[in-house]
Amino acid sequence: MANKRIGKQTVQLENPPSILSAASIVGPKEGEGPLRMYFDMIIDDELWGEKSWEKAESKLMRETIDKLLSKSGISNQSVNYILAGDLLNQISASTFALRDTGISFLGVYGACSTMTESMSLGSFLVDGKFADNVICITSSHFCSAEKQFRYPLELGSQRPPTAQWTVTGSGGVLLSSQGSGPYITHVTTGKIVDMGIKDANNMGAAMAPAAADTLVTHFKDTGIYPDSYDLILTGDLGTLGMEITNELMKQQGYDISDRYNDCGAMIYDVKRQDAHCGGSGCGCSATVFGGFVYQELLKGNLNNVLFIATGALLSPSSSQQGESIPGIAHAVAIHRNLS
Amino acid sequence: MQKMYTKQEYLKYVEEKSPKSKVLRNVTRAFVIGGLICIVGQFISNLIISKGVKPEDAAGLTSLIMIFFGAFFTGLNVYDELGRFAGAGSIVPITGFANSIVSPAMEYKREGFVVGVGARMFIIAGPVIVYGISASVFAGILYFLLK
């Protein structure tokens, strides 16, 4: 019997894993943003001494793993699994980053929802006593993502005002059966929600219904009220997606606006940095969580956080064929102390 | 209970909610920058003609020089900044056409000269060339029949 399940889509963890360490490395643009003091490292240029953007993205992830290990004092050998994913075809940024680690690897893809997808699965592994230490990590890179999903960088084109800017960066966490928190206590796994948005330059609107769906499901499944959280944080809906989510939530009887924020809206000073609707990409939620949220949890400024990374599950081919964009959102509840 | 909007309602709501492009500002910028690029072209054309080149040859020569400038400033990482500001003003002139060929060539250089630069160079300009040539063939046939 699956006795840890509560409600339709939620798991309440019996042995909540502790987030032993978190780390983040970001690109120059993110390093000029309002969260710059929270990142472990800001690289000077987007190639970071590598020959290609793809290689630079792999290096971002590799170095972030090194930081996770050194911060937690856990050795390479003691890590049982790495759960990682990114936006490149065949999640190649992750696989190339990890080929020399010698740690069991499970690749995950949830577009920009990958961070909470990997944290969800990592929590299951630790909670189920299949692992003691699990690394959950993702990355994205503005240049490699533009190359794969949009136009060449040097093409002189304009972006529409609803567009978002892919974050260059990698963020991750090390989950452990040991440690003294913060703990992951609940996991609500999202289902695919597609409201028919076809514009790949308006991903916030495409993903917002999925975020609202997972949020409402989480509250219903657990019976927890939104005001038990200090912060409800979605992944990369951007300023427009955030507004829509707020409104969709209100329609369903949940007013979360006083404690709700979005990583995409936080990572850039949207006006000054010409980021239109804000940041996006796997690295967006990963670096904001690995930097800002984790440090504020440790300081005690945040105690209970609901973290919902959001993904737009499109491919360049599906867009060109006129398909709408399926959205997804996975939530993990994080508490500083177990009550 | 969930999904209060139907798909149609949601699309309409998003359409209304989404920030709109600043059309007047964009059109003005495109007009000014596009006009400036054309003035540079005209200046070059006049210069060539004053050196004794026949006007019909000067047109081709001017295009060549403008294409060079488009490619050159793409290589210097300047043309994308110009494009972000001017939009159609720097896309429509022939310099924009050069930009659309050089930018993917730069992007895919790391995949090698055959499957990278060679194969990808025309991913943006390709359709323009295909339909441009098709349209001119069609116009030529019409012209032949009607003459």
d(CA A216, CA A219): 5
Query: Smallest CA–CA separation between A244 and chain B, in Å?
Result: 8
pLDDT of A14: 96
Q: Determine how many CB atoms are found less than 10 A away from the CB of residue B123.
A: 17
- CB-closest option in A154, A213, A277 to B74: A154
CA dihedral A256, A260, A264, A270 (to 10 degrees): 100
Question: How does pLDDT run across A92-124, given as a tens digit for each residue?
Answer: 999 999 999 999 999 999 999 999 999 999 999
d(CA A174, CA B104): 39
Q: Which residues of B touch A56 (CB under 8 A)?
A: none
- CB-closest option in B10, B84, B110 to A209: B10
pLDDT of A1: 81
Contact A109, A85 (CB under 8 A): yes
A244 touches chain B (CB under 8 A): yes
A195 touches chain B (CB under 8 A): yes
CB contact under 8 A, A157 and B91: yes
Work out the pLDDT band at A149, boundaries 50, 70, 90: very high
DSSP β-bridge partners for residue A261: A233
Query: Smallest CA–CA separation between A250 and chain B, in Å?
Result: 11
Question: How does pLDDT run across A3-62, given as a tens digit for each residue?
Answer: 999 999 999 999 999 999 999 999 999 999 999 999 999 999 999 999 999 999 999 999
CB contact under 8 A, A196 and B110: no
- The three-class DSSP label of residue A112 is strand
Helices marked H in chain A — which ranges? Answer: 28-31, 53-72, 92-98, 114-127, 142-149, 203-222, 238-251, 263-267, 282-288, 294-299, 316-320
Give B 26-65 residues with CB within 8 A of chain A. Answer: 26
Q: Which residues of B touch A252 (CB under 8 A)?
A: 1-2, 4
pLDDT of A88: 96
Residue of A145, A235, A170, A134 whose CA lies nearest to A39: A170
* Structural domains in chain A, sorted by start: 5-176 (3.40.47.40), 183-335 (3.40.47.40)
Query: Smallest CA–CA separation between A83 and chain B, in Å?
Result: 29
pLDDT of B87: 93
pLDDT of B1: 45
Taking CA–CA distances from B98, the nearest residue in chain A reads: A155
pLDDT of A339: 74
In sequence order, the 6+-apart residues with CB closer than 8 A to the CB of A50 are A56, A59
In percent, the amount of chain A with pLDDT more than 70 equals 100
CB contact under 8 A, A205 and B18: yes
Question: How does pLDDT run across A49-76, given as a tens digit for each residue?
Answer: 999 999 999 999 999 999 999 999 999 9
pLDDT of A82: 98
Crossing angle (nearest 10°) for helices A203-222 and A238-251: 40
- What ipTM describes this predicted complex? 0.90
CB contact under 8 A, A154 and B82: no
Helix (H) or strand (E) holding B100: helix B94-107
Query: Smallest CA–CA separation between A60 and chain B, in Å?
Result: 19
Phi, psi of A234 (to 5 degrees): -90, 165
Q: Which residues of B touch A209 (CB under 8 A)?
A: 3, 5, 10
Taking CA–CA distances from B14, the nearest residue in chain A reads: A205
Q: What is the mean pLDDT of residues A330-335?
A: 98
Work out the pLDDT band at A2, boundaries 50, 70, 90: confident
Q: What is the DSSP letter of A105?
A: E
User: Mean pLDDT in runs of 10 for chain B (147 residues)?
Assistant: 78 94 95 97 96 93 97 96 94 95 95 94 94 97 95
Question: How does pLDDT run across A256-291, given as a tens digit for each residue?
Answer: 999 999 999 999 999 999 999 999 999 999 999 999
Q: Which residues of B touch A160 (CB under 8 A)?
A: 21
Q: Which residues of A touch B70 (CB under 8 A)?
A: none
In percent, the amount of chain A with pLDDT more than 90 equals 98
Size of interface A-B (CB pairs under 8 A): 101
B5 touches chain A (CB under 8 A): yes
Taking CA–CA distances from A146, the nearest residue in chain B reads: B107
pLDDT of B118: 94
- CB-closest option in A156, A161, A195 to B20: A161
